[in-house]
């Protein structure tokens, strides 16, 4: 396991301390958990972006009809007089 030091604003440290106390965990544990969650989320998001770029590079796009069907599911067409 690697240890390192980070600097955070006092307000953030205070908030972290309060959460750690409520959960009966150490501040170090809570910070490590937050970093782990952040790294996992960023890895997932970057992988999804890279997959989307690869699809676009292969020319795999939704057709106009595909897009219209999706939009129609969520947008009501209002008639204007």
pLDDT tens digits, one per residue of 4-15: 899 999 999 999
Domain that holds residue 36: 10-74
Better pLDDT: 65 or 80: 65
CA–CA dist 35, 37 (Å, integer): 5
Q: Does residue 79 belong to any structural domain of this protein?
A: no
Residue 10 confidence (pLDDT)? 97
42 inside domain: yes
Mention every residue, 6+ apart, whose C-beta is less than 8 A from residue 70: 62
pLDDT (0 to 100) of residue 61: 86
What number is the average pLDDT over the span 32-49?
A: 97
Residue 77 has pLDDT above 80, yes or no: no
Distance CA 68, CA 81 (A): 23
- The answer, yes or no, to whether residue 43 has pLDDT greater than 60, is yes
Asked whether residue 61 is assigned to any structural domain, the reply reads yes
Look at residue 4 and tell me if it is in a domain: no
What average pLDDT does the chain have? 93
Question: What is the number of structural domains in the chain?
Answer: 1
C-alpha–C-alpha distance, residues 81 and 59, integer Å: 41
Residue at 28 is within a domain: yes
More confident residue, 42 or 79: 42
Task: Kindly tell me the burial class for residue 51, based on how many C-beta atoms sit within 10 Å of its own C-beta (0-12, 13-18, 19 or more).
Answer: exposed
Closest CA to 16 of 40, 6, 44, 2: 6
| Residue 50, domain member (yes or no) | yes
Q: For residue 2, tell me if it sits in a domain.
A: no
Could you tell me if residue 31 is inside a domain? yes
């Amino acid at each position: 396991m690697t240890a390192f030091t980070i600097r955070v604003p006092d307000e953030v440290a205070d908030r972290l301390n309060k959460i750690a106390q409520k959960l009966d965990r150490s501040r170090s544990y809570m910070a490590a958990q937050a970093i782990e969650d952040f790294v996992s989320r960023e890895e997932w998001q970057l992988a999804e972006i890279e997959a989307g770029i690869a699809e676009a590079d292969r020319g795999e796009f939704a057709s106009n009809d595909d897009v219209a069907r999706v939009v129609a599911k969520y947008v009501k067409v209002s008639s204007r007089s």
